[in-house]
Amino acid sequence: MYSGVTRGAQVTGIAVMALSLTWISFSLRFYVRTRLLRFIGREDWLMIASMILLTLLCSLCLRAIAFGLGAHMYNIPPPSKETGFKYIFICELLYVTCTAVTKLSIGVYFLRLSSKRYQIWTIYTTLCVVMVISTMYFFFLLFQCDPIYHLWTQWDGGVGKCLHNPILANVTYAHAAMSAVTDWAFGILPIFFVWKMQMNPRTKLSVILILSLGFFASSATIVRIVYIRSLTLTEDWSWEGINLVKWSMVEPAIAITASNIATLRPLFKNKFIFAKKRFDTSIDDDDGPSSDDSFTSSKIRNNNTVAAADYPVEFAEMLGLSRAAVTTEISAGGSQSERDQFKRRFSLSRRSTREKSESQMELHNVPLPQRAGEINWSSGIKTTTTVTIEK
């Protein structure tokens, strides 16, 4: 429906690549959640919505090629311009909605992994910024022309007015900057998730990398900013706008793919101990601990450096981590033979010490303490340490 050269094939290649990567990664994510974890959360439903929005976005961009997207404006007849700009207008709204829902899905997933208050507040603050700016930008695009349909009817003598290109570009810059900053925030936050966790360094690095893939989405956002400026310097929008259209598909596709990959670690589960609690094991005994007990106690103190209350069990389950729980149980007394042995060892020394103390108190006319209800520690204190590994 147009003549001359076109760059529409570039949109076709990007759209096919974006849909292929996202649907493959989403299929693997769906398998992990339904088959391995047997759990579907709110972030998964939000990701389904993002997939639908991205599919619609790519489909309409492909359809717009038939009406002149990628061709020069002077080679496109007015009826095709009207239909083509109508598709582009819908694609703009889908892009804003898709990126917002994708970031919302990532934020909800990170909320499931976070346990510290500052982490939770960081995520909520980031999501609030995303939703506020995205909503404002959505309505800005929706009402950029008065009336709304003047955006596509202006090529056929329609009456109305639209905002000037510099104003539209500045608002788009603000939205793109917000998108890049929030991508960086979500990319840096996983470092704080596992920074103090007791786990294998190699595993810790793999967790950080897999959760920080959102950095790649910010690179697409930065490239997209460059092409926003090019539209303010030309009137050949269908030709110059092809780069902006391509990166408007690449950006949400990278974010969705990275978010899906972040949930796939249970497919490649490593066998290592995820320390759950920290215990300072010390046993007061005149004979001192044995060499084996000393080694075990030292190992527990060195490895278990983070309390389990700081990190939810869900963190290990969502990322396919093994967990080791160490439990120390302290009880008074023991078996009859243990109590008899303890009494034989310490009764003489305790009796002589108590008699010497009482004689000193009588010498200085100090009243003796009441022994009624005195706690009998002669049976000793017994400790039991249990190590449980969940895989």
Amino acid at 260: N
The answer to whether 56 touches 88, Cβ cutoff 8 Å, is no
Backbone phi, psi, residue 71, to 5°: -100, 170
Tell me the two tokens of residue 116: 């510290």
Residue 100 has pLDDT above 90, yes or no: yes
Whole-model pTM: value is: 0.72
Residue 310 has pLDDT above 70, yes or no: no
pLDDT bracket for residue 355 (50, 70, 90):
low
Residue-level pLDDT at 188: 87
pLDDT given at position 53: 97
Which pLDDT band holds residue 287 (cuts at 50, 70, 90)?
Answer: very low
What pLDDT was estimated at residue 316? 65
Q: What percent of the chain is predicted at pLDDT more than 90?
A: 29
On the question of pLDDT at 304 being above 60, the answer is no
Segment among 54-63, 253-262, 279-288 with least mean pLDDT? 279-288
242 or 334: whose pLDDT is higher? 242
Mean pLDDT of 322-345: 55
Q: Which residue did the predictor score with more confidence, 169 or 333? A: 169
Is 60 exceeded by the pLDDT of residue 353? no
Domains, the chain:
8-268 (1.20.1070), 273-391 (no CATH)
In this predicted structure, the answer to whether residue 387 has a pLDDT above a threshold of 50 is no
Measured CA to CA, the distance from residue 328 to residue 280 in angstroms comes to 10
pLDDT greater than 60 at residue 253: yes
**3-class secondary-structure state, position 376:** coil
For 224, the token pair is 């997209």
Q: What is the pLDDT of residues 15-43, one digit of tens each?
A: 999 999 999 999 999 999 998 888 889 99
Q: What is the distance between the alpha carbons of residues 297 and 304, in angstroms, rounded to a whole number? A: 11
Asked if the model's pLDDT at residue 271 lies above 80, the reply is no
Per-residue pLDDT tens digits for 180-196? 899 888 888 888 877 77
Q: CB under 8 Å to 90, separation ≥6 — which residues?
A: 60
* pLDDT for res 282: 37
Give the mean pLDDT of 168-191. 88
Phi first, then psi: what are they for 242, rounded to 5°?
-65, -35
